[in-house]
């Protein structure tokens, strides 16, 4: 190859790289994933998450019906997107004290690992005209990474869960974002649980949000865009960010993981006040308990609670 030709090929390659902006090797559409992207001018950040498999597992563990399963999907997808927006490496513990029929919602996402777990207080609740499943409530979000945990608690009333997440982002962290969760069911079985968040950065302005919302009006649902041939839903990103050059910048796998264990439970029981432990031992009955996240049943014989004599 002549020098001129080599330079031409190198230039073409560099150009193609600059135009594509996609991360290679997306996981299959069966896997749960979360990716982030950014417009080249830095105005808008986009995050897209799919958690179908995890939500299906969580809903099945909890015997959730289609209605509380939908709420769990909104909690998981919304919570993962919010965590990744605030700090992708932080551990978060979210409690939503919802006075609605579904009761409180819980979400734990572990630090710098892909695992998370979620639960709802009344997985068998059904929506009734006089008793909605979700009415808002107190959002108590604890975020930590290494140092002291950062806690924010806000009371948010009469919103859907994704709307409440957006309000929480704005009120607690001055983050302006659009968050939508797309959940599809076939009877009580979860078919799709995915969602996206677009954040306006300090580099962006009102015109950027308006342009993105105009793009969004012409678009179909995200679950239709995350296909076998485009599992990341890059086409969705392209449409949403029509008018911008943008790049996918990071991707992680996410999955339902419960960190409960027999050892941990015994340690917790042993750490109770001495008189309570002695009462349990004196009663002689095995201590039975079920994990509220994965529904694993544990049975601890009381003698195990006595710390062996030194
Ligand atoms: Zn568990």
Per-residue pLDDT reduced to its tens digit, 186-211? 888 899 999 999 999 999 999 999 99
Pairwise CA distance, residues 118 & 65, whole Å? 15
Question: Quick check: 310 pLDDT over 50?
Answer: no
Cα–ligand 1 centroid distance for 94 (angstroms): 17
Predicted confidence at residue 309, as pLDDT, reads 46
pLDDT at position 307 over 70: no
What's 27-256's CATH class?
Answer: alpha beta
How far apart CA 126 and CA 9 sit, in angstroms, is 62
How many angstroms separate the alpha carbon of residue 297 from the centre of ligand 1? 9
CA 261 – ligand 1 centroid, Å: 7
Rounded mean pLDDT of 292-297? 92
- Tracing tokens 């513990």 back to the chain, one arrives at 93
Annotated domain spans of the chain: 27-256, 262-305
Ligand 1 centroid to Cα of residue 259, in Å, is: 6
Residues 69-82: what's their mean pLDDT? 97
- Report the separation in Å between the CA atom of 183 and the middle of ligand 1, taken as the mean of its atom positions: 25
State the distance from the centre of ligand 1 to the C-alpha of 256, rounded, in angstroms: 10
d(CA 253, CA 49): 9
- Say if residues 61 and 295 touch (Cβ distance below 8 Å): yes
Q: What is the mean pLDDT of the chain?
A: 91
Cα 238 off chain centre by: 23
Question: How far away, in angstroms, is 61 Cα from ligand 1 center?
Answer: 10
Rounded to the nearest angstrom, the distance between the alpha carbon of 207 and the centre of ligand 1 is 46
**CATH architecture for segment(s) 262-305:** Alpha-Beta Complex (3.90)
pLDDT band at 14 (very low <50, low <70, confident <90, very high): low
- Confidence (pTM): 0.89
Do the beta carbons of residue 192 and residue 220 sit within 8 Å? Answer: no
Q: Which of 269, 259, 210 is nearest to 111 (CA)?
A: 259
Give distance in angstroms: CA of 262 to centre of ligand 1.
10
Ligand 1 mean position, distance from CA 260 (Å): 4
Q: Fold match between 27-256 and 262-305? A: no
CA of 192 to the centre of ligand 1 (A): 24
pLDDT at 192: 97
Distance 96 CA to ligand 1 centre (A): 19
**DSSP reduced 3-state for 28:** coil
Structure-token match 């485009």, residue found: 230
Q: How far is the CA of 271 from the centre of ligand 1 (A)?
A: 19
- What's the pLDDT score for residue 280? 87
For residue 9, pLDDT beyond 50: yes
**Ligand 1 centroid distance, CA of 153 (Å):** 25
- Measure 145 CA to ligand 1 centroid, in angstroms: 23
Contact yes or no for 115/108 (Cβ under 8 A): no
Can you give the pLDDT at residue 226?
97
For residue range 104-130, what is the model confidence (pLDDT) as tens digits?
999 999 986 679 999 999 999 999 999
Dist. CA 38 → ligand 1 center (Å) = 36
Q: 107: exposed, middle or buried (C-beta count within 10 Å: 0-12, 13-18, 19+)? A: buried
CA of 152 to the centre of ligand 1 (A): 26
Distance from residue 230's CA to the centre of ligand 1 (Å): 34
Q: What is the pLDDT of residue 305?
A: 84
- CA dihedral 199→204→207→211, nearest 10 degrees, is -50
CA distance 138 to 142: 13
DSSP letter at 40 equals T
Give 214 Cα–ligand 1 centroid separation in angstroms. 43
Question: What are the helix and strand counts (H, E) for the chain?
Answer: 9, 13
């Amino acid at each position: 190859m002549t020098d001129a030709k080599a330079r031409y090929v190198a230039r073409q390659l560099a150009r193609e790289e600059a135009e594509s902006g996609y991360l290679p090797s997306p996981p299959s559409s069966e896997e749960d994933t979360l990716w982030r992207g950014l417009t080249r001018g830095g105005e808008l950040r986009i995050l897209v998450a799919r958690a179908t498999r995890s939500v299906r597992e969580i809903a099945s563990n909890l015997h959730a019906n289609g209605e509380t399963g939908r709420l769990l999907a909104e909690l998981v997808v919304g919570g993962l997107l919010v965590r990744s927006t605030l700090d992708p490496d932080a551990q978060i513990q979210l409690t939503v004290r919802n006075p609605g029929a579904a009761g409180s919602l819980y979400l734990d996402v572990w630090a710098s690992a892909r695992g998370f777990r979620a639960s709802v207080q009344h997985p068998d609740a059904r929506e009734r005209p006089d008793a909605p499943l979700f009415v808002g409530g107190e959002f108590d979000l604890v975020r930590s990474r290494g140092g002291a945990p950062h806690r924010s608690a806000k009371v948010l009333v009469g919103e859907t869960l994704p709307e409440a997440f957006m309000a929480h982002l704005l009120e607690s962290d001055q983050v302006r974002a659009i968050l939508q969760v797309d959940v599809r069911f076939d009877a009580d079985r979860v078919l799709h649980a995915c969602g996206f968040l677009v954040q306006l950065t300090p580099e962006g302005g009102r015109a950027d949000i308006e342009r993105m919302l105009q793009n969004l009006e012409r678009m179909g649902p995200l679950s239709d865009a995350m296909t076998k041939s485009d599992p990341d839903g890059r086409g969705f990103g392209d449409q949403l960010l029509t008018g911008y050059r943008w790049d996918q910048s990071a991707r992680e796998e996410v999955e339902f993981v419960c960190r409960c264990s027999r050892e941990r439970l015994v340690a917790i029981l042993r750490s109770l006040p001495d008189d309570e432990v002695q009462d349990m031992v004196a009663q002689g009955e095995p201590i039975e308990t079920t994990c509220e996240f994965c529904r694993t049943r544990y049975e601890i014989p009381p003698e195990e609670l006595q710390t062996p004599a030194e």
